[in-house]
Structure formats: structure tokens, C-alpha cells
Structure 1
Amino acid sequence: MDEYGERLTKVAYNYLKDWSLAEDVVQDVFITCYKQYGKLDEVTYFKSWIYRITINKCKDTLKSSYMKKVIFDSNLFRFFIAKEPTPEMTLIHQSDEELLSISVLSLTVKFREVIILYYYEELSIEEISSILALNKNTIKTRLSRGRARLKELIERSEQEDGGKANKFT
């Protein structure tokens, strides 16, 4: 738990976009690992195995009717948010790191998961291939297309903000 807890929570957050829900999923992952303790001899790569469990639990959570209801209900709140951001929010949105994080989170799951695992978790193509049970070339293609999509999102955001320069493009 000490070794993987924080990293798995970050991966789960990138899927679920809710920190407390991500913590719940990771707690459930560790319970699953505890229940499967007797079968650990059959696991070839523990790191890939635990990441795969986390990703599957995140996808299950996203598919659940509870999650669909929460997402639907949260969309209603956007009509009640003020049109002008607060000064604090303006500063946050001007940050390059914030722009990159928002852009990564706005990618579709198939691109977001590969980008996060490769850049944030610093996993190799082979490890990602094992975790996601996909061909290495598929991982490389998704990584390439994800980068291109990320570049488009950042450039579009810059144009909307008045065309200021950004170090990520």
C-alpha cells in the first residue's frame, strides 16, 4: 500500500476526475489484492497486475448507473456558475501546468490512459501493453495520436486566451 497507494490513486483520479471516488476505488483494489493473496504466485508482474485491477475498477465505476447519475446531475450546475472567473481562478488557469492537466483530462479515455501511464507513471511501452492488454504498436499509435490531440487542445486554448506563448507546444 505504501509503495503503490498514491500512484494508483492518481491513475484512478485521471479516470474518474473525483479524488474521493479515486481513493475509494484504490481502497477496493487493495481489498481485492488481499483477497487474491493466495494466488500471487500465479502473477508474473505485480505492478502490471495491480494497475490492471485499478483501471478495470475505474472503468466499472464509470459504467455504473450511480456514476452516470452523478455526471448528469453535475452538468446541471454549470448553469449556476458565474460567467466571470474569480481572480484566483484566473491565475490558476494561466498556469501552464494547469493548462496541461486540464488538456490531458479532456482527452478520451483511450488516449488519456496511455499518456498518463507513459508520462506521469513513467511506464515503458511494454509495461503499458501488458497492463492494457494491447499490442505494443497500438500503444505507440495511441501515444502518438494522444500527443497530437493534446497539442491541438493546448493550441486552441492559447488562441482563446489571446494567443500567448506556451512552452508545451
Structure 2
Amino acid sequence: MVFQIEKDTWLESIMDEYGERLTKLAFNYLKDWNAAEDVVQDVFITCYKHYENIDKITSFKSWIFRITINKSKDVLKSSSIRRVLINSNIFNSLSSKEQSPEIVMIERDENELLSMCVLSLSIKYREVITLYYYEELSIEEISKMLKINVNTIKTRLNRGRAKLKK
């Protein structure tokens, strides 16, 4: 019984810590918030099932991100999903209460524009941009997570930045 309580507490803590970030990551692939939430729920079920092996995982963050990416790609491959670009302000940063409403609106518009531009990139650029800038992973971590050469990650980052500048 104590083991079950520890397991449930652990799951709640990772849900609190990673839930929103994983949903945003999945949304980045799926462009559908409900589908992203379903993927993240499935990720947490996978984590729960692998609780006994958690100490064998060298980087939990990379592991859980990799699961989310793989499950998102699986959903994209399935014939039941059709990607739809929806208006979203997913990457809006929280504004300070001291800013004027005008500044807040300008920043929100800029953040929405940036979010939409990132979401309009092809998946190979979008995933590295998101992991590097929004999840603050290093190029090496991204390389291991996606199982792609470091130089390829650097190239995709540079090309993704160039596309965003346009």
C-alpha cells in the first residue's frame, strides 16, 4: 500500500512539473490542443507503467520528451487525424502587472505572431526550434533525443531561424 501511495505521489509530481510543457510540445506537432492533451495523458500512463524502472533512466526529462514526441508522431501517422492550424497563443509569456495595457497588447500580438510563425514551419524545423528555445535543451540533448546528428540539429536551427526572420 505504501508503494502505491509513493507511485501515485510521484505521478502527481511529474504531472505538475511536466504537464503543461508536454502539452505544448505535443501541440507543436499536432496543432490540435485536444489531441495534444490526449497524447500527454497517454505519456503519463506510460510513465506510471514504467515507475519501477525509473531509476535506470539517465535523463528523465529527455526520456519523457522523447515519449511525447514519438506518441505525437504516431498520432500524425494515424489516418484519423487531420492537422488543422488553429489560432493559439500557446507561447505567450506572462506579462508583468506593472506594464500598461497597451504594452501588454503589443507584446501579446508579437508573441502570437511568433507562435504562429513557429507553428507554420515544417516539423523538422519546428521541433528543434521548440526544443532549443522553449524547452531550453542543449543541441547535444536535442541530438540524443531525436537521434539526429549534432550538425543536422545546428543546420535545422539556422534554417529555422532564417525562415522565421522572413
Q: Same fold (TM over 0.5)?
A: yes
Task: Report the Cα offset of residue 95 of structure 1.
Answer: 2.1
In 2: Cα distance, 1:135 partner to 1:37 partner: 30
Percent of matched pairs sharing the same residue? 70
Match of 1:28 in 2: 42
Instruction: Report the aligned-residue RMSD.
Output: 1.9
* Separation in 2, partners of 1:149, 1:36: 39
Distance 2:160 2:41 in 1: 29
CA distance in 2, matches of 1:48, 1:138: 19
Provide the aligned length of Structure 1 versus Structure 2: 132
TM-score by length of 2: 0.74
* 1: CA distance, partners of 2:123 / 2:19: 21
Q: Name the amino acid aligned to 2:150.
A: K
Partner of 2:80 in structure 1?
Answer: 66
Deviations 1:74-120 (A, max 9, x none): 69xxxxxxxxxxxxxxx99x922221111100100010000001111
Question: Residues of 2 paired with 1:64 and 1:130: CA distance?
Answer: 25
Give the drift of 1:38. 2.0
| TM, length-normalised to structure 1 | 0.73
Instruction: Map 1:18-167 onto structure 2 (within 5 A).
Output: 18-67=32-81, 70-71=82-83, 95-152=109-166
Matched, 1:12 2:45: no
Runs of 4 or more above 4 Å deviation? none
Unmatched 5+ stretches in structure 1: 76-90, 153-169
Gap runs ≥5 in structure 2? 1-14, 86-104
SS class of match (1:145):
helix
Partners of 1:129 and 1:117 in 2: CA distance: 10
